[in-house]
């Protein structure tokens, strides 16, 4: 029990420090100050998602084959590279290295933190506590990120060197709890012999086999990926949308701060919702509410648009820990990170394609028509998939 508690607490400390990116709300401004055009900034964001698409699955397999602790340490090293490259960069090529480092960092962390927590609890037969723990991890990450955004603004008033120097320092501190983590016992992937890439191919096939064998995963995974991609678009483009609606930057900043803090609450109560309702009821009613508030976000007036946005974001914050717990219960330890990396791969691929297409669309049709088109695509794909699944079962 003591080892379990220590692992979980060390994981909490690590997540708090690992989310302290003090430039999170300022990086576009910083790049502009360094002479980057909006076109170049868009390319840098595309490079980040490209790195995720290319490395998501390989890094997930590293976590399953060689250990989650190894994956987290390597990911944190790439956080240091990001801070260093941003600090010393003055050219597009150097900023490219920074954003590639950030993308690779995301892939090493993706799935490894959740898998580490689940296997730690599993060793003590405490899997039922996973949703509560992952909810606390999510809440702590959101709280840390909100703090970083708040402090980053004051640091930027002093100097950009302080912003990125502090980011490097906090991620050095994040290594301390990582080294104190004890890798939990888990099922190991069978050694098939041959060269290292044969083992990696076998690991990838094992992740795909999970999808093929567990049809119960298909609906929640597909709907979660679609909703997550939609929210990324709404959050990023919503900032400019609110400004065009006449809200001041102060109000917009307050809305996104409230969104983050409410997310902390939603993540913390997720385990209570999971205990009270059956998973697929949460999924279907959640989908209905998501569509309802999406419609209100597009067609409502004044303050109702802001409220609709907040409700949309909180639905996903509430569902994510419950979704993670549902999937983890169906996985063996030797494919946890690999399978979640496959989910991350598809989500990043969709974002990488849809993000610039949506920007292109709103330049020509405006925000209202753009959001309406996004809603139509989301509803068509989600409804079409659910209908296809129903006919396949029958």
Q: Which DSSP string corresponds to 327-351?
A: HHTT--GGGHHHHHHHHHHHHHHHH
Q: Length of the chain, please?
A: 394
Q: How far apart are CA 83 and CA 86, in angstroms?
A: 5
Q: What string of DSSP letters covers 76-106?
A: HHHHHHHHHHHHH--SHHHHHHHHHHHHHHH
Measuring CA to CA, which residue among 293, 244, 17 is closest to residue 145?
17
Return the structure tokens found at 366: 């405006």
Domain layout of the chain by residue ranges: 1-182, 206-394
Measuring CA to CA, which residue among 208, 211, 209, 231 is closest to residue 219?
211
Pick the CATH number of 206-394 from 1.10.3720.10, 1.10.10.10, 3.40.50.720, 1.20.1250.20: 1.20.1250.20
Q: Is the pTM of this model over 0.85?
A: no
pLDDT along the chain (394 residues), means of 10: 74 92 80 80 81 81 81 94 92 92 89 84 85 88 84 85 94 93 70 53 75 90 93 81 79 78 89 93 95 94 90 92 90 80 83 80 86 94 90 72
Report the pLDDT value the prediction gives residue 167, as an integer from 0 to 100.
94
Report the pLDDT value the prediction gives residue 119, as an integer from 0 to 100.
85
Q: How far apart are CA 171 and CA 173, in angstroms?
A: 5
Helices (H), ranges, 191-217:
196-213
By CB atoms closer than 10 A (0-12, 13-18, 19+), residue 84 is middle
Structural contact between residues 338 and 203, judged by C-beta atoms closer than 8 angstroms: yes
Measuring CA to CA, which residue among 205, 199, 211, 209 is closest to residue 65?
199
Gap between the terminal Cα atoms of the chain: 46
Return the structure tokens found at 362: 């709103």
Topology (CATH) of 1-182: Growth Hormone; Chain: A; (1.20.1250)
What proportions of the chain, in percent to the nearest 5, are helix, strand and coil? 85, 0, 15
Q: How far apart are CA 361 and CA 371, in angstroms?
A: 10
């Amino acid at each position: 029990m003591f080892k379990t508690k220590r692992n979980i607490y060390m994981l909490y400390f690590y997540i708090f420090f690992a989310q302290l990116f003090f430039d999170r709300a300022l990086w576009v401004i910083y790049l502009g100050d360094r002479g980057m055009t909006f076109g170049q900034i868009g390319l840098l964001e595309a490079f980040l998602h490209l790195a995720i698409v290319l490395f998501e699955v390989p890094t997930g397999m590293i976590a399953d084959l060689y250990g989650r602790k190894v994956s987290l340490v390597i990911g944190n090293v790439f956080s240091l590279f990001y801070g260093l490259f941003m600090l010393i960069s003055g050219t597009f090529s150097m900023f490219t290295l920074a954003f590639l480092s950030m993308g690779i960092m995301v892939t090493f962390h993706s799935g490894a933190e959740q898998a580490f927590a689940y296997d730690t609890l599993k060793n003590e037969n405490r899997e039922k506590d996973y949703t509560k723990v992952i909810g606390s991890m999510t809440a702590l990450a959101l709280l840390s990120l909100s703090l970083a955004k708040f402090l980053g603004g004051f640091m930027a008033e002093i100097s950009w060197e302080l912003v990125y120097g502090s980011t490097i320092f906090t991620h050095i501190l994040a290594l301390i709890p990582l080294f104190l983590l004890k890798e939990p016992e888990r099922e190991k992937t069978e050694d098939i012999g041959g060269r290292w890439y044969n083992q990696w191919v076998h690991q990838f096939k094992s992740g795909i086999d999970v999808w093929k064998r567990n049809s119960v995963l298909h609906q929640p995974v597909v709907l979660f990926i679609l909703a997550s991609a939609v929210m990324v678009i709404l959050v990023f483009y919503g900032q400019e949308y609110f400004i065009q609606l006449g809200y001041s930057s102060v109000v917009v900043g307050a809305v996104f701060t409230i969104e983050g803090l409410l997310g902390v609450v939603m993540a913390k109560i997720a385990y209570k919702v999971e205990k009270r309702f059956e998973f697929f009821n949460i999924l279907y009613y959640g989908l209905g509410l998501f569509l309802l508030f999406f419609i209100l976000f597009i067609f409502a007036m004044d303050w109702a648009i802001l409220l609709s946005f907040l409700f949309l974001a909180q639905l996903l914050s509430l569902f994510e820990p419950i979704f993670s717990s549902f999937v983890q219960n169906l996985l063996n330890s030797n494919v946890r990170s690999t399978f979640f990396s496959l989910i991350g791969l598809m989500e990043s691929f969709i974002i990488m394609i849809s993000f610039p297409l949506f920007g292109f669309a709103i330049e020509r049709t405006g925000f209202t028509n753009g959001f309406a088109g996004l809603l139509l695509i989301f509803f068509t794909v989600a409804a079409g998939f659910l209908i296809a699944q129903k006919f396949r079962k029958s």
